[in-house]
Chains A and B, each alone.
Chain A
Amino acid sequence: MRRSLALPWALAIVAAALVVLGGVLEFLPGASGDPWWVYGLWICLVLATVAVGLLVAVRRPGHPIGLLLLANALIIAAAGAAESYARYGLLDHPGSLPGARWAALYDQSAWPLLFAAVTAIALVFPDGRLPSPRWRRVAAGATASFALVIVSSMTRPFEGPFAGVRNPLPELPAALGMLGGVALLGVLFSLLAAVTAVRVRFRRASGIERLQLQWLMFSAASIPLALLLGLATGDDAARTASIFVMSGALSAGVAVAILRYRLYEIDRLINRSLVYGLLTLLLAGAYAAITLALGVAASRSSPWETAVATLAVAAAFLPLRTRVQRGVDKRFARARYDALRRIEAFLADLRGGRTAPEEIESVLAQTLGDPRLELHYWLAADERYSDARGNPVGVAPDDGRVRTPVSRGGAPMGVVVHDPALDERPHLLASVIEAAGLAIEIARLRVELRRQLEEVEASRARIVAAGYEERRRIERDLHDGAQQRLVSIGLALRHLQHELPTGSGAADEALDGAVAEITHAIGDLRELARGVRPSLLDEGIGPALRELAQRSSVPVEVRATPERFAGSLEAAAYFIVCEGLTNAVKHAHASRIVVSAGRANGSLVVSVADDGVGGAAAAEGSGLMGLADRVAAQGGTLRLRSAPSAGTTLTVELPCAS
């Protein structure tokens, strides 16, 4: 990792050094430099390109785009520095600097390099590869054209400001010069090809990649424009400006793709890169200012000035670095900062009762930018995971998504099932999950509570149903056991009676009495069994209610559907009416009662209405309370309307589904 970062850092440092060198030469006494704003633009362009290049290089070590951007920065820096060096060493103070003619040579012949770097970037952005293998020929042609143009301009006599200076290289034959002209055409074609490459990629791309490319597409259009403009005007300043615009636009295009559309998943790194980028700028500015001030004060250059300036800047570095780091941390850890703020806002809403804790799942999905994110809660009692509605969910997602466990105080809360891309930002994921921990725990507790409540309700309904089933069993036992046995005994007595010799009157009478007792006992048993569960319930709620009504001492009108319902439902309805009738007769002193049973809205609705004294209420321990409990156990509702002296109506709805 460190080794692979050596080259990018070297390129960056050399570029920065060249900027400093150029600045020093521009502002040395007696230097005939460009206007200060050209120098400023140049510095900004180089440093910006270095910053973007470093960003990519650090995040994606070995990625061609990072290296190409840094190379571009170096080329630009070198061009400026070479011009300043050559101007100072050849024109302002001839003979004062060694190798000034070579600097002039670079200044004259390096301009194709500027185009070559941006062309290369445009060809391989953003994945570092050509759009397709067919583009290799284009790349080869471009390389050859640029090389030829460079060679041909290197072997020409100097023009422009250094026209009088002798080129250190020998002049080559005119034929090569003509070849240079053809190569220039090749360069123009290469630039057009670079624009086309970006366009081709843009057309193929979709979604976020398309957005990433769109900015580069705009800036790539400036590449051939810059060349044509430079060739057409022949004006030095215009040429410089157009090259600045082209390179700047390209760097900006890449920067926007990275910063705005998270190309290369660069996100947290912006933090550190910005710190260093800003620090570099501040350092350069401070260095330039101190150098200038000392230079003006001493009115001539000496190695001492440079040394003092360096020391001053170095002394300022540490506190400055801490301060800048803090500011940048606050301002530029954007993704994490924004995410944590959203979670905090959600927690505030939660405290204010404006949202439900279960919403944390969708908040996490939005905050982390993964619409398919799911939060699975750990239900300790059931030893399984569930979703927010309490439905069980599988342990292993089969779609390649990643499960990140959530725990609080060592106790498992659940897992976040998310896109593997989020693993590339572990700090963001971890801190967001940690911040959301309380909401997740509340949601989990609620899910668990709901789940247990459902279970309790289900078991209560089962118990009630089992109670009705038990009544049926007891009723059967009474009928098939005791009752049958009594009939058998009765029959045996009758047989005995038949066997008695005629004339045994007393014994005959005694046997008649015994059989009558048995018949009574059987009748009692039948009543008992009916109280436990009327066997007419086997034929439906209607027949059972009619039979019940018949036994009432108060006239009862029955309006019952012939429809059949689940056994436990019919039994419940029957006993509700039993209780209602008992109350109507015993407490309400009713003279007329209407009982109805029928289906309405998917429920079995039974009601008992009387014309009695009213004023009934379900008191603790009363039959009505027990009734209400059983109705609730079956998921039903019980309504009691009983105004004083307006009769009482008891209405119960029992949902058919349960």
Chain B
Amino acid sequence: MRVVIAEDQALLRAGLARLFEDAGHEVVASVGDATALLSAVAGHRPELAVVDVRMPPDYGDEGARAARRIREEHPAVAVLLLSQHIETKHAVALVAQGRFGYLLKDRVLDVGEFMEAAERVCRGGSALDPQVVAMLVRHDRDDDPLAELTAREREVLALIAEGLSNGGIAKRLFLSLNTVESHVRNVLSKLDVTAAEDGNRRVLAVLAHLRATQSQH
């Protein structure tokens, strides 16, 4: 992958670059703010942009706004947004568009899963941080359709929302592919989501459903 990294803290920026290089990817640019990020993306046309949410000058959500512009101006560039803490405001909507990932920053320390997510996003898939997913799939009302799911089914739903494929889910839960497929079918039918049983469209449908449920509260 050809990667552009935007992170304002130099040490972390260098660490991230080394992480991608160690994994055999090419880091074409490492920048410290949103403006530099946008010009680097325009100049290098990378496959992936790894973007810190908080960057100069205001340390607000400059990274998220830059990510949205990249989405609009360079739809072919995948974006992985890294955050110090959970901010659901825009994350779910962006992730639901595909070719987009939103992860807590310390996920990078689990190199295997992080790289897997980065590559998935690059391929057009999505990656949503488990903590965000946990907020989406929890139920606190009795009439919530999620209440009908079994514990295992809810686990599967969470992994679908995180962006994992059936294969990925099987690997994560140490289950056979067939079992996972049957769980997925059950989940989708209980939630009344009609979509392909695997692939990105399924993630989008599930996320859309979860967001709709969420906003009813």
Does the CB pair A539–B88 fall under 8 Å?
yes
Does the CB pair B140–A487 fall under 8 Å?
no
- Is A557 interfacial (CB-CB < 8 Å)? yes
Interface residues of A in 495-520 (CB under 8 A from B): 495, 498, 515, 518-519
- In the bound complex, how far is the Cα of B26 from the Cα of A386, in angstroms? 72
Partner of A491, one of B15, B84, B87: B15
Q: Tell me the smallest distance from the CB of B213 to a CB of chain A, in Å.
A: 12
Per-residue CB proximity of A537-580 to B under 8 Å, as 1/0? Answer: 01100110011011000011111101000000000000000000
Would A547 and B135 be within 8 Å (CB), given that A488-B12, A555-B140 are in contact? yes
Does the CB pair B54–A480 fall under 8 Å?
yes
- Is B150 interfacial (CB-CB < 8 Å)? no
* Smallest CB gap from B114: residue in A: A494
Q: Tell me the smallest distance from the CB of B72 to a CB of chain A, in Å.
A: 23
Does the CB pair B84–A557 fall under 8 Å?
no
Chain A residues whose C-beta falls within 8 Å of the C-beta of B106 in the assembled complex: 483, 486-487, 490, 519, 522-523
**Residue of B11, B84, B140 ringed by the most chain A CB atoms within 10 A:** B84
- Is A526 interfacial (CB-CB < 8 Å)? yes
- In the bound complex, how far is the Cα of B140 from the Cα of A558, in angstroms? 8
Does the CB pair A557–B141 fall under 8 Å?
yes
Would A519 and B109 be within 8 Å (CB), given that A479-B85, A492-B15, A550-B138 are in contact? yes
Q: Tell me the smallest distance from the CB of A525 to a CB of chain B, in Å.
A: 9
Chain B residues whose C-beta falls within 8 Å of the C-beta of A90 in the assembled complex: none
Chain B residues whose C-beta falls within 8 Å of the C-beta of A547 in the assembled complex: 86, 135
Does the CB pair B109–A487 fall under 8 Å?
yes
- In the bound complex, how far is the Cα of B18 from the Cα of A539, in angstroms? 34
Does the CB pair A484–B9 fall under 8 Å?
yes
Interface residues of B in 128-142 (CB under 8 A from A): 134-135, 138, 140-141
Chain A residues whose C-beta falls within 8 Å of the C-beta of B108 in the assembled complex: 487, 490-491
Chain A residues whose C-beta falls within 8 Å of the C-beta of B89 in the assembled complex: 538-539
Does the CB pair B109–A491 fall under 8 Å?
yes
Partner of B12, one of A491, A530, A560: A491
**Residue of B16, B59, B106, B110 ringed by the most chain A CB atoms within 10 A:** B106
Chain B residues whose C-beta falls within 8 Å of the C-beta of A523 in the assembled complex: 106
Q: Tell me the smallest distance from the CB of B74 to a CB of chain A, in Å.
A: 27
Interface residues of A in 439-490 (CB under 8 A from B): 476, 479-480, 483-488, 490
Does the CB pair B105–A487 fall under 8 Å?
yes
- Is A535 interfacial (CB-CB < 8 Å)? yes
Chain A residues whose C-beta falls within 8 Å of the C-beta of B215 in the assembled complex: 562
Does the CB pair B19–A495 fall under 8 Å?
yes
Chain A: number of interface residues, binned into ranges: 35 or more
- In the bound complex, how far is the Cα of B140 from the Cα of A560, in angstroms? 13
Chain B residues whose C-beta falls within 8 Å of the C-beta of A479 in the assembled complex: 84-85
- Is B111 interfacial (CB-CB < 8 Å)? yes
Interface size on B, residues (CB 8 A): 29
Partner of B18, one of A480, A491, A518, A536: A491
Interface residues of B in 108-122 (CB under 8 A from A): 108-111
Chain B residues whose C-beta falls within 8 Å of the C-beta of A542 in the assembled complex: 217
* Smallest CB gap from B141: residue in A: A557
Q: Tell me the smallest distance from the CB of B139 to a CB of chain A, in Å.
A: 10
Chain A residues whose C-beta falls within 8 Å of the C-beta of B9 in the assembled complex: 484, 488
- In the bound complex, how far is the Cα of B88 from the Cα of A542, in angstroms? 12
Q: Tell me the smallest distance from the CB of B128 to a CB of chain A, in Å.
A: 16
- In the bound complex, how far is the Cα of B89 from the Cα of A479, in angstroms? 18
- In the bound complex, how far is the Cα of B134 from the Cα of A40, in angstroms? 115
Q: Tell me the smallest distance from the CB of A37 to a CB of chain B, in Å.
A: 105
Chain B residues whose C-beta falls within 8 Å of the C-beta of A519 in the assembled complex: 106, 109-110
- Is A529 interfacial (CB-CB < 8 Å)? yes
* Smallest CB gap from A555: residue in B: B140
Chain B residues whose C-beta falls within 8 Å of the C-beta of A483 in the assembled complex: 84, 105-106
- In the bound complex, how far is the Cα of B131 from the Cα of A535, in angstroms? 14
Q: Tell me the smallest distance from the CB of A511 to a CB of chain B, in Å.
A: 11
Per-residue CB proximity of B4-24 to A under 8 Å, as 1/0? Answer: 000001011001101100100
- In the bound complex, how far is the Cα of B59 from the Cα of A480, in angstroms? 9
Does the CB pair B86–A490 fall under 8 Å?
no
Per-residue CB proximity of A70-90 to B under 8 Å, as 1/0? Answer: 000000000000000000000
Q: Interface of A with B (CB < 8 Å)?
A: 476, 479-480, 483-488, 490-492, 494-495, 498, 515, 518-519, 522-523, 526, 529-530, 535-536, 538-539, 542-543, 546-547, 549-550, 555-560, 562
| Supplied contacts A494-B111, A518-B109, A557-B140, 11 more A-B pairs, CB within 8 Å | A485-B11, A487-B109, A490-B106, A491-B18, A491-B19, A494-B22, A495-B15, A495-B18, A536-B86, A536-B88, A549-B140
Q: Interface of B with A (CB < 8 Å)?
A: 9, 11-12, 15-16, 18-19, 22, 54, 59, 84-89, 105-106, 108-111, 134-135, 138, 140-141, 215, 217
**What 7 A-B pairs come out closest when comparing CB atoms?**
A491-B15, A479-B84, A490-B109, A498-B22, A535-B85, A488-B11, A522-B106
Would you give 30 A-B contacts (Cβ < 8 Å), ordered by A?
A: A476-B59, A483-B106, A486-B106, A487-B15, A487-B106, A488-B11, A488-B12, A491-B18, A491-B109, A494-B111, A495-B15, A495-B19, A498-B22, A519-B106, A519-B110, A522-B106, A535-B85, A535-B86, A536-B86, A536-B88, A539-B88, A542-B217, A546-B135, A547-B86, A550-B135, A555-B140, A556-B140, A557-B140, A558-B140, A562-B215
